[in-house]
Amino acid sequence: MKTKDLVLVSGANGHLGNNLVRLLINKGFRVRASVRNIRNLDYFNNLDCEVVQADITDKESFKRALQGVDTFYAVGAAFKLWAKDPQKEIYDVNMQGIRNTIEAAAEAGVSKIVYVSSIAALNYKHTPTKESNGYNPDRRDAYYNSKNDGEKLAFKLAKELGVELVSVMPGAMIGSESLLPLNVSYAVLRLILNKKIPMDTHIALNWVDVKDVAEGCYLAAEKGRSGERYILTNERCMSITETTKLAQKLYPELNLRIPVSVPKFILYGIAGLMQFAAKLSGRPPLITTKEIAMFSGLQQDFDISKARNELGFNPKSSQQAVKEALAYLMAHKEML
């Protein structure tokens, strides 16, 4: 039997998942939080929620977790841009996870799914990018491919199984609350504060406060139209160099240096060396040749009028999100 106010958030010990859990608790919902590793519960100290174990690669675990749930926030996914075997570790995991969780939700009688996709699933050929632009035709990255193909599969399964599903597409999420390890986007700010980005890659990111994305997920559940997708980020992107200049202005005592502009062939050479070292060490490289090719010079500006008008989504500016995220990192030195 479903309980109208019982919701499940998967990936609840991740950056977005945990902030969404906190938001839903504050709004009066009964929250069930699913995590892959039940021993990792630091994120749930003093939170009034039920924590259960569930893995997106294990359908039965989600069938159990979704019993009695009215709304399912499908946040859990493999979120990384590098792996030794990206097809197996990123693409296959995410695609299998989508099928498992949506089928489990349908079998459990869930009323609505808010599926967390990504701006990676958007076509950037015409800016400002909007939902109606369609899907990203760039097939060079396993994570991007999983978000493109995954969103299509999510809509297809939901339609076949008779479940309402709304897709939300966040940008580069930063801000509190957060624990280590930082997500891919937030880690860029740490690199800036630690002076680990000496050269200008001409890469821009569309920064958005994670709490605004959490609010957007809730609004999508309340107001979103089934079968629709909504961009949850800011209108304008900021380059990493612009972000560094803002950090330099805010924290002059750090003596941050503005990244030096170099020819692209030098960037490719450095990225190639980093990739070679990563294969030997097993640790992700700071930058890859693929990322230079895909993102250097790419403008990530968006038309978010659909989310504003239909959901009431109203994020703080990218600059303000960066200021608050930097302040959080500076106040929590263990994260640096």
Tell me, what CATH number does 154's domain have?
A: 3.40.50.720
**Domain span at residue 126?**
6-174+209-235+301-315
Q: Give the residue ranges of the chain where pLDDT is below 70.
A: 1-4
Would you state the pLDDT for residue 5? 87
Q: What's the structural domain count of the chain?
A: 1
Would you state the pLDDT for residue 334? 86
In angstroms, rounded to a whole number, what is the distance separating the alpha carbons of residues 192 and 174? 14
Q: What is the pTM of this model?
A: 0.94
In angstroms, rounded to a whole number, what is the distance separating the alpha carbons of residues 100 and 262? 46
Would you state the pLDDT for residue 298? 87
Residue 85 resides in a domain: yes
Residue 272 resides in a domain: no
Who's near 80: CB < 8 A, 6+ residues apart? 89, 90, 143, 184, 284
Residue 264 resides in a domain: no
In angstroms, rounded to a whole number, what is the distance separating the alpha carbons of residues 164 and 220? 11
Q: What is the 3-state secondary structure (H, E, C) of the chain?
A: CCCCCEEEECCCCCHHHHHHHHHHHHCCCEEEEEECCCCCCHHHCCCCCEEEECCCCCHHHHHHHCCCCCEEEECCCCCCCCCCCHHHHHHHHHHHHHHHHHHHHHHHCCCEEEEECCHHHCCCCCCCECHHHCCCCCCCCHHHHHHHHHHHHHHHHHHHHCCEEEEEEECEEECCCCCCCCCHHHHHHHHHHCCCCCEECCEEECEEEHHHHHHHHHHHHHHCCCCCEEEECCCCCEEHHHHHHHHHHHCHHHCCCCCEECCHHHHHHHHHHHHHHHHHHCCCCCCCHHHHHHHECCCCCECCHHHHHHHCCCCCCHHHHHHHHHHHHHHCHHHC
Would you state the pLDDT for residue 1? 44
